[in-house]
Amino acid sequence: MTALDQITDKYLYFLAFEKGLSGKTIESYSRDLSRYLQFLRQQGVKHISDTDTPVILKHLISLREAGLGSKSCARHLVCLRGFYRFLVQEKVFAYDPARHIDLPKSGLKLPDVLSVAEVDLLLKMPDANKPRGKRNAAMIELLYAAGLRVSELVNLELLDVNLEACFVRVLGKGSKERIIPIGTHARKKIDEYIKNARPLLLKKNMSKHLFVARAGKPLSRQGFWKLLKQYAEKAGIKKKITPHSLRHSFASHLLEGGADLRAVQVMLGHVDISTTQIYTHVAREHLKQMHEKYHPRG
């Protein structure tokens, strides 16, 4: 094993056992670093300490020339930024050569963010007179109220929700737990579902899951996605809506309202605040549009 391989293996071990990142994330980082090492070998670089900012930029240019899109190049840079921060921590570098390399803006494009009015309209679509409608209304309300990932939503257990204190306990990426406030609207919808719909959906079955489908099994991610799409069409929303759209809307609406970036980072479960900073761009663009539209001298 070469010195380059050894240092990258040490970094991947650090991500897995100290940062607690998921297996899929580790695999993605491993692929990106392997491609970077291949590039370094082609350049005749034998030790990572021989790299610098121009070498990293040259690698990113080679990726674009190879046909990689902005999003893929941005992901590579995120990987390399984390790698070089680790190398500074390990005293391999006295400074971070990747620190001042900017992410391409087109690589930070987010899915459509719903307006507050569109979210309100979407939340009115489930039929509150039917058990499944009560369940779906509670799920959508909670997804938006807590900014959950769809996998986190469908895997919630009954004991994960504290309606008295208005919070939900979530096991996110890398098995990291976080506690998120849910607000009174979500609390009321969940309470209504638990009392008046969940027993009817369970029939005589038992289940530890909060949101249940047939025979007490949890609703699948695909099943919820399909429901959400149907409600968006029914509401006349033309934007491409996915469960992640509500997570993005949650973050953007909080920041537009003046929420602290680090508080939003904690609620979203982002390890790196640079991931959360993407939403500040979305919020600024929205505010700019509002100013241009409504200010007499916009």
Catalytic residue annotation: 149, 173, 244, 247, 270, 279
Q: Which residues are within 8 A (CB) of 172 and not within 5 positions of it... i.e. 6 or more apart?
A: 149, 152, 178, 269
Q: How far apart are CA 91 and CA 205, in angstroms?
A: 57
Q: 286: closest CA among 120, 122, 113, 144?
A: 113
Q: How far apart are CA 88 and CA 232, in angstroms?
A: 47
Q: How far apart are CA 6 and CA 9, in angstroms?
A: 5
How far is the first Cα of the chain from the last one, in angstroms, to the nearest whole number?
61
Strand order in the sheet with 161-162: 161-162, 167-171, 177-181
Q: How far apart are CA 174 and CA 119, in angstroms?
A: 30
Say which amino acid occupies 113: V
